[in-house]
Amino acid sequence: MELVFTKPFVKSYRALPLTAKRRTDAALALFQEDPFHRDLKNHELKGKLKGSRSISAGFDLRIVFSVNDEGYAVVVLVRVGTHSQVY
């Protein structure tokens, strides 16, 4: 799996506190091993983010991404932040 980091993702990641960065890094490592691990709560989004997906990095922290195929060969990371920040 190739992860592509967009500018908005990098900007939002840099703004996170250190503990949230660590949780994000751990979630992305788990995501690369198993994109549908139950702890990640991988799900499709609706509304204005329709076509994107989201995983949980613990508590209220979410990572929004998009994929071009079902095989998850290339994953484009869109944003990271709290539920209210990314939705």
**Sequence ranges of the domains in the chain:** 2-86
d(Cα 87, Cα 22) in Å, to the nearest integer?
Answer: 21
pTM, to two decimals: 0.89
Q: What local confidence, expressed as pLDDT, does residue 86 receive?
A: 80
Q: What local confidence, expressed as pLDDT, does residue 21 receive?
A: 95
**Backbone torsions φ then ψ of 18, nearest 5 degrees:** -55, -45
Residue 41 has pLDDT above 80, yes or no: yes
Residues whose CB falls within 8 Å of the CB of residue 47, separated by 6 or more in sequence, listed in order: none
Task: Give the model confidence (pLDDT) of 55-79 as tens digits.
Answer: 999 888 999 999 887 778 889 999 9
User: Where does 2-86 sit in CATH, by number?
Assistant: 3.30.2310.20
- Alpha helix ranges (H) inside 15-78: 18-33
Helix (H) or strand (E) holding 77: strand 74-82
